[in-house]
């Protein structure tokens, strides 16, 4: 039977797990969603621990923290650091239709699963078996015997899945280098040969005013030097304006001029 400690743990952790799952679905920011998933998975791991499945519980936490970390990387590298959901409907009325279907499916599942009554004796018998096995051979050994005995085929075939995944990642994401990478020396030689930017590209920043990489350097006539900022920043439209600095320069120049005239 469920002990008090178990019940307390369930009523504290259960809502947490549901909260995390809801967060996964409804969070606007992808990173928040990933965190919600991590919360759910870790809570599930704790549930397994409470139910005397030590190995499963710890592995659940171990594996899913790594997996969610991967999602983090995906979010940051593919989607953007702080992107959030787009609420644009590409197919008209899609949301209402999906809402109806979700309600239907949820209704079906709740209706059928809600009727289920477990036989307390059978459940307890299974639990007793697990505890007896844990005490006799140990939890880890017990799982090992299942994996390498009864379920050995499933275990081995899973390797085909992993190899396929690795191969697929290579095919879809690994770009073979067709021409050798240019070394720094080669770049330098090329600059001299083409007689362009022989001294290197102009460095960004208006010295003594601002030296951040998003601030273009000023040409002698006060225009910003386009080459001085990274093209990535230009593409993302994150280049700072230099008007203010130029005006300050002009002002100082004027003052110097006036001082000279005096």
Kindly list the residues in this chain that would bind other proteins in the complex (CB under 8 A).
Answer: 29, 31-32, 35, 38, 42, 45, 54-55, 58-59, 61-62, 65-66, 69-70, 72-73, 76, 81-82, 108-109, 111-119, 122, 126, 134-141, 145, 148-154, 157-158, 160-161, 163-165, 167-168, 170-176, 178-179
Of 15 and 168, CB closest to other proteins: 168
Phi-psi region of 45 (alpha: psi -120 to 50; beta: other; left: phi over 0): alpha
Residue with tokens 């809402």: 99
Q: Find the shortest distance in angstroms from Cβ 255 to other proteins.
A: 35
- Answer for the pair 245, 206: CB distance below 8 angstroms, yes or no: yes
Of 4 and 115, CB closest to other proteins: 115
Q: Find the shortest distance in angstroms from Cβ 196 to other proteins.
A: 21
Residues 6+ apart with CB under 8 A from 57: 45, 46, 47, 48, 49
Of 157 and 208, CB closest to other proteins: 157
> Residue 206 forms beta bridges with which residues?
210
**Cβ count within 10 A of residue 242:** 20
Q: Find the shortest distance in angstroms from Cβ 115 to other proteins.
A: 4
Q: Find the shortest distance in angstroms from Cβ 167 to other proteins.
A: 6
CA 257 to CA 249: how far, in whole Å? 12
Of 204 and 218, CB closest to other proteins: 204
CA 207 to CA 201: how far, in whole Å? 16
């Amino acid at each position: 039977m469920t002990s008090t400690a178990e019940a307390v743990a369930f009523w504290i952790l259960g809502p947490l797990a549901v909260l995390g799952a809801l967060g996964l679905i409804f969070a606007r920011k992808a990173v928040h969603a990933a965190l919600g998933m991590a919360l759910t998975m870790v809570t599930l791991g704790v549930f397994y621990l409470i139910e005397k499945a030590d190995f499963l519980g710890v592995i659940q936490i171990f594996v899913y923290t790594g997996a969610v970390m991967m999602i983090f990387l995906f979010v940051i590298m593919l989607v953007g650091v702080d992107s959030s959901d787009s609420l644009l409907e590409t197919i008209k009325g899609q949301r209402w239709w999906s809402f109806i279907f979700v309600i239907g499916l949820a209704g079906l599942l709740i209706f059928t699963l809600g009727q289920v009554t477990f036989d307390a004796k059978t459940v307890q018998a299974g639990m007793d078996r697990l505890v007896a096995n844990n005490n006799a051979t140990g939890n880890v050994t017990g799982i090992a015997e299942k994996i390498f005995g009864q379920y050995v085929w499933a275990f081995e075939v899973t390797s085909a899945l992993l190899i396929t995944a690795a191969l697929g990642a290579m095919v879809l994401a690994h770009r073979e280098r067709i021409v050798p990478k240019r070394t720094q020396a080669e770049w330098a030689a090329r600059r001299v040969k083409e007689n362009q930017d022989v001294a290197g590209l102009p460095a960004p920043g208006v010295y003594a005013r601002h030296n951040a990489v998003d601030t273009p350097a000023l040409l002698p006539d006060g225009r910003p030097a386009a080459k001085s900022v990274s093209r990535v920043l230009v593409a993302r439209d994150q280049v700072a304006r230099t008007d203010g600095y130029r005006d300050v320069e002009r002002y100082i120049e004027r003052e110097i001029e006036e001082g000279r005239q005096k």
